[in-house]
Amino acid sequence: MGEAKIIDGEAIAAGLRRRIGEEAARLKARHDLTPGLAVVLVGDNPASRVYVRNKARRAEEAGMTSHDHHLPADVTEEALLSLVRGLGDDARVNGILVQLPLPPHIRAEAVHDAVDPAKDVDGFHGINAGRLVTGAADAMVPCTPLGCLMLLKHHLGELAGLKALVIGRSNIVGKPVAALLLAEHCTVTVAHSRTRDLAGECRRADIVVAAVGRARMVEGGWIKPGATVIDVGINHIEGGSGETRLAGDVDFAAAVKVAGAITPVPGGVGPMTIACLLRNTLVAACRQNGIEPPEI
Ligand code: NAD
Residue 201: its pLDDT value, please? 98
- Residue with the smallest CA separation from ligand 1 atom 35 is 233
223 CA to centre of ligand 1 in angstroms: 19
pTM of the model: 0.97
- Give nearest CA residue, ligand 1 atom 22: 193
> In Å, how far are 13, 127, 147, 223, 276 from 271, measured between CA atoms?
6, 26, 9, 24, 9
- Torsion sign across C-alpha atoms 277, 12, 150, 100: negative
For residue 273, is pLDDT > 70? yes
Query: Using an 8 Å Cβ cutoff, are 61 and 21 in contact?
Result: yes
Q: State mean pLDDT over 8-37.
A: 98
The tens digit of pLDDT for each residue in 235-250 reads 999 988 889 999 999 9
Residue 2's pLDDT band, with cuts at 50, 70 and 90, is: confident
Assess contact for 115 and 88: CB atoms under 8 A. yes
What is the best residue among 7, 165, 193 to mutate for testing ligand 1's pocket, by most ligand atoms within 8 Å of CB?
193
pLDDT at position 206: 99
Residue 12: predicted pLDDT? 98
Helix 269-288 and helix 143-156, axial crossing angle in degrees, nearest 10: 110
Ligand 1 contacts (CB < 6 A) are: 144, 167-170, 172-174, 191-193, 195, 198, 211-213, 232-235, 269-270, 273
Identify the pLDDT of residue 242.
86
130-183: pLDDT as tens digits: 999 999 999 999 999 999 999 999 999 999 999 999 999 999 999 999 999 999
Spell out a b/e string for 253-268, using b for 16 or more CB atoms within 10 Å of the CB, else e.
Answer: ebbbbbbbbbbbbebb
Asked whether residue 1 carries a pLDDT value surpassing 80, the answer given is: no
The whole-chain average pLDDT of the chain stands at 97
Strand 235-238 relative to strand 244-247: parallel, antiparallel, unpaired? Answer: antiparallel
CA separation for the pair 263, 228 (Å, rounded): 9
Q: Could you give the CA distance from residue 243 to residue 167 in angstroms, rounded to a whole number? A: 28
25 alpha carbon to ligand 1 midpoint, in Å? Answer: 36
Question: For 52-56, what is the mean pLDDT?
Answer: 96
pLDDT in tens, 181-221: 999 999 999 999 999 999 999 999 999 999 999 999 999 99
Q: Judge whether 167 and 211 are in contact, CB under 8 Å.
A: yes
Instruction: Tell me the domains of the chain and their CATH numbers.
Output: 31-116 (3.40.50.10860), 143-270 (3.40.50.720)
pLDDT of residue 240: 82
